[in-house]
Structure 1
């Protein structure tokens, strides 16, 4: 897809995040000399075409009290990974869930699910729910707890 100058301006104006104001699209529109409706329509079109993947809040889990953020990793049979991943992704405490290739013999895991909890006990309960849901299809699993935020930004397009 070809982006015109206005689309590029919108990307530049929003790639660090939407303004934290009551009417963020209006603020962007005023900055660029457009209407809020133009900004929203163009962003919706770019999202439909895959230029923009998603528009969402990206919380800092530590600042809002979630200190037990764990990437759970699971070794499940390939023929079941899609079905099981769908079920895990539907759990209300899983922020994202996806399949990744194994890197044998060192990394046997192919299903990943991120959980966030305020206490270690809450995190353990969430992980137990996932383990129960996956049942006998799990051969092994591990949890990788984060200790700091490494990245909270997407792709940046230079000037």
Structure 2
């Protein structure tokens, strides 16, 4: 993090608990730190390019939205097809995140992960069936890891 200066660290501290919940969060940060909105946006963009900030996005609490049934589906698919299959699965409206993970043979043959959310167990089961249908013969095995509680998600914390 040697490419960061004190202003970058101030922006990180101001946003480490999340962006302000206002219609214009970058304006609120700029006002709080005595910077211009353009400065805040440009510095955050640069921190993303440096890999200090991985991404900026909303992190909904699915439980509060009524989606109390959640499952991380894990799939064993051919490695040479994983990118195309992952894009198809990740584009489904009920999949919140989808990614490629390494296998850990012989115990863990799964390489495609997709998190699904539903208002009922039946919703989740139906979604899993839809993914299985899309994968078709490329589904070489699957499992589901169901959520039993919500974990607090936090980002980077600076001192």
TM-score when normalising by structure 2: 0.92
Matched residue, 1:46: 47
- The residue number in structure 1 matching 2:8 is 7
Task: Map 1:1-159 to 2 at 5 A.
Answer: 2-157=3-158, 159=159
CA distance in 2, matches of 1:9, 1:56: 20
* Distance (Å, rounded) in 1 between the aligned partners of 2:148 and 2:83: 29
CA distance in 1, matches of 2:84, 2:18: 34
Q: In structure 2, what is the Cα distance between the partners aligned to 1:112 and 1:74? A: 6
Q: Distance in 2 between matches of 1:67 and 1:150?
A: 13
Gap regions ≥5 residues in structure 1: none
Larger deviation, residues 77-86 vs 57-66:
77-86
* Runs of 4+ in structure 1 over 3 Å off: none
List alignment gaps of at least 5 residues for structure 2.
none
Q: How far has the Cα of 1:45 moved from its partner?
A: 2.1
Q: Deviations over 1:92-120 (max 9, x none)?
A: 21111111111122211111001111111
Root mean square deviation of aligned Cα:
1.4
